[in-house]
Amino acid sequence: MIRLATVQFTPRLGEPEANLEAIGRLLEPIQADVVVLPELCTSGYFFVSREQLVPYAEAPDGRASSFFSRLAAEKRAIIVAGIAENAGDRFYNSVFVFRPDGSAPLIYRKSHLFYKERFVFEPGDTGFPVIRDERLDLSIGIMLCYDWRFPEVSRVLALDGADLIACPSNLVTDAWRKVMPARAIENKVYVAVANRCGTETRGEETLLFKGCSAVYDPWGEAVALAEADGDRVMVSEIDPRICRDKSFNEFNDIFADRRPELYGALCRPRR
C-alpha cells in the first residue's frame, strides 16, 4: 500500500518565504510516500500581469526547489508542488515533481490556462507526464487545476500507465466536485485533488478558493475529503495494483473495448 498525503493549504499572496515555512510546519509530522500540494503554493495565485508575477517566479534551481528537494530526501517521498516557473523570458504555471534521490525536478507546464492566467503565463508545452517510481511500484500522472475540464488529459495519462492522477489546484468553482469522481471512474485510477482555500483580492475583485480537497478511488468514491476551509493534510492508503486491471466484469474492459479508429486522429491507441 502507498501512503498518499494530500495537502490543503492557504498560501499568502506574494509571500514565498512565509508559504514555505507554513508548508514545512504542515508536513513536519507527516510520513507519506507521495505528497501532493496545491497549485502555485509558494507564491499565491491572483496575478493579473507578468510584472506582478516576476518577483515570485522561480527557476528549477531556485529557493523553492531547494526546499522541496531537501524535504523529499528527508522524508523519502515524492513531492508534487505547484510553482510559478521562470524559464528565462517565459513564465509558466507549473508543477514540479521532486524525488528522494535529489535529481532535478520533473516539470509539467499547465496546458489549459484559466481566466486571467492568460495575461501572466504562457500555455504549457510539456505534454502530460507520467512519472514511474519502481521503488513504490507506482506511476503518477500530472494535471493542473483547469485541466480537469478536458477529459482527454486524464485519458492520456491513464493510457500512458498512470495509477494515480495528481491534480494540484486553486479551484474557484464547484463543478469539479461532480466531474473528478468521473475522471477516476472512466479511467479506473485514483485522483488526488490538492486544492487551496481562502481568498485573494486584486483591486475590487476577490477570488474565493473552494477547498474541499479530495482523493477519489477507481470507483469514484471519496477516500478522503476535506472541509471548505482550513489547512490540513489528509493521509490515505492506496493500492495502485487495482488500477491496472481495467475490466469491470468478465466481458468488458474499459481500455480493451475502446474503438480509437472511430474517435478521430487525436485519440491514441493504448500502449
> What are residue 7's DSSP bridge partners?
233
Eight-class DSSP state of 269: P
How far is Cα 193 from Cα 188, in angstroms, rounded to an integer? 16
Active-site pick, 41, 75, 85, 110? 110
Residue 271 within any structural domain of the chain: no
Q: What is the spatial order of strands in the sheet that 138-142 belongs to?
A: 130-133, 138-142, 164-169, 190-195, 214-216, 222-225
> What are residue 165's DSSP bridge partners?
141, 191
Query: Has 145 been annotated as catalytic?
Result: yes
Q: Are 213 and 166 in contact (CB under 8 A)?
A: no
Q: Tell me, what CATH number does 137's domain have?
A: 3.60.110.10
| Length in residues, the chain | 271
Eight-class DSSP state of 100: T
Residue 270 within any structural domain of the chain: no
How many domains, in total, are found in the chain? Answer: 1
Query: Has 110 been annotated as catalytic?
Result: yes
Residue 144 within any structural domain of the chain: yes
3-state helix, strand, coil in the chain (%, to 5): 25, 30, 45
Residue 227 within any structural domain of the chain: yes
How far is Cα 57 from Cα 71, in angstroms, rounded to an integer? 20
Q: Are 20 and 67 in contact (CB under 8 A)?
A: yes
CB atoms within 10 A of CB 112: 17
Q: Are 119 and 48 in contact (CB under 8 A)?
A: yes
Nearest to 210 by CA among 121, 145, 149: 145
How far is Cα 104 from Cα 120, in angstroms, rounded to an integer? 25
Q: Which helix (H) or strand (E) holds 178?
A: helix 176-187
pLDDT of residue 263: 85
Query: Has 212 been annotated as catalytic?
Result: no
Q: What's the CA angle centered on 37, arms 31 and 41, to 5 degrees?
A: 135
Beta strand 214-216 pairing with 190-195: antiparallel
Dump pLDDT digits (tens) for 126-180. 999 999 999 999 999 999 999 999 999 999 999 999 999 999 999 999 999 999 9
pLDDT of residue 118: 96
Residue 269 within any structural domain of the chain: no
Q: What's the CA angle centered on 216, arms 210 and 220, to 5 degrees?
A: 110
Residue 209 within any structural domain of the chain: yes
Indicate the SS3 state at residue 129.
coil
CA torsion through residues 170, 174, 175, 179, sign: positive
Residue 35 within any structural domain of the chain: yes
How far is Cα 78 from Cα 69, in angstroms, rounded to an integer? 9
Q: Which helix (H) or strand (E) holds 130?
A: strand 130-133
Active-site pick, 39, 58, 85, 200? 39
Active-site pick, 58, 85, 117, 145? 145
* Low pLDDT (below 50) residues in the chain: none
Cα 118 versus chain centre, distance: 19
The residue range of the domain holding 9 is 2-262
pLDDT of residue 264: 76
